[in-house]
Amino acid sequence: MRVSNFLFPQAITPEDDARVIDETLAEAILTDELGFDVIWLAEHHFDGICAYVDPISFAAALATATKHAKIGFAVAQMALHHPIRMAEQVSLIDHLSKGRLIVGLGRGTAYNIYDYQGYGIDHTEAQGRFEEAEAIMFEAWKGEAFEHHGKFFDLKLPAFRPIPYTKPHPYVIRAASTEHGMIDVAKQGRPFMMNVQSNETTAHRMEVYRQTLRSIGQDEAAVAHNSDACWAWRNVFVAETDAEAERIAPPAFAAMHTFRTAMRERVYREQGVSIVPMPAPGSAPPARMVLEHSLVCGSPATVIEKLAAVGKAGIGGLIMQFRLGPMSYEHTAQSLTLFREKVMPHL
């Protein structure tokens, strides 16, 4: 099973931005030195839940600051990016990293309407913009002149430079937050990234994914290859003992989700708008906010056991967020190091 670190650092106030960005760069370098397979980057705007905000710019920094780990987007919000500028930036980072880039794409946030408002984008157009933009990027990476006249973009390119380092183009993978979205990706014969779900839902979706691949004519070797290329997200914290992990991780996890919903709730109070209906009082929270489903924490032995349960779903890679909300860099670095020394060998 491939292991990774999802850098998703919150900065509670603007005064925290510089410190957290510096610490996140240090965390990326440590992750690379410890031998993790991938360093993942998020994209969120205006609220401090992701201090570096832009995964494209930060990936360029990591391409020169790290040596071994792949660098992935989890995910770039394509509704907010011009496809030609994005294709150029990705191609450049592909060169800087010597082919270590994983271009994880999604339509955009399903929760924070202010991300779209700040960019002047109608959130109901997000999926359409995503589909059109991705197709344009694949065409641009061929390096040849082309024209595109679509619903959202009207383009005439004389050529494209720089051509990608990776041939025919950098590796692209899609995120799917719903079962319906996952099935759409599977019908294209492509792997996908899954957001936080319960182990039961993870196993169910992977089984549906494999069934869908078979339904489009993929043989068992192709099904196994694609399944191994899929990723699932969990939050992880490792300490010397279960008691120590419980003392640090659950409070940080709770504070992280309180902070992540604060701006969304404020905008709803002020404007009365949201992308999805605001949860009714007393309603069951989604899996990403439930400790049992979202947080894997404990001693090395406990974390090994819990992650083995995720692995039984047949997924090939774990997207693991180690720094949770207000957690200190020191605790995060200790957790990463313990994971490398005492957990990773068992995975």
Give the whole-angstrom CA distance, residue 174 versus residue 38.
16
pLDDT of residue 58: 98
- Which 3 state secondary structure label does DSSP give 221? helix
pLDDT of residue 280: 84
Question: What are the average pLDDT values for consecutive 10-residue runs of the chain, which has 347 residues?
Answer: 97 98 98 98 98 98 98 98 98 98 96 97 97 98 98 98 98 96 97 96 97 98 98 98 98 97 97 92 90 96 96 95 98 98 96
pLDDT of residue 339: 98
pLDDT of residue 51: 98
Instruction: Confirm if 58 and 52 have CB atoms less than 8 A apart.
Output: yes
pLDDT of residue 50: 98
pLDDT of residue 171: 98
- Domain around 236: 2-346
Beta strands in 85-207 (DSSP E): 101-106, 146-149, 154-157, 171-176, 192-194
Amino acid letter, residue 152: F
CATH of the domain at 224: 3.20.20.30
Tokens of 149: 């006249």
Beta strands in 150-266 (DSSP E): 154-157, 171-176, 192-194, 231-238
> At 59, which helix (H) or strand (E)?
helix 55-65
- Using alpha carbons, select from 313, 324, 310, 315 the residue that is nearest to residue 239: 324
pLDDT of residue 57: 98
Instruction: Confirm if 318 and 232 have CB atoms less than 8 A apart.
Output: yes
pTM higher than the cut 0.85: yes
Count of the separate structural domains present in the chain: 1
pLDDT of residue 263: 97
Residue count (the chain): 347
pLDDT of residue 320: 98
pLDDT of residue 268: 96
Output the CA–CA distances (angstroms, integers) from residue 307 to 86, 119, 205, 260, in the order listed. 35, 38, 17, 25
Handedness of CA 61, 65, 71, 74 (dihedral sign): negative
Burial class (CB in 10 A: 0-12, 13-18, 19+), 146: middle
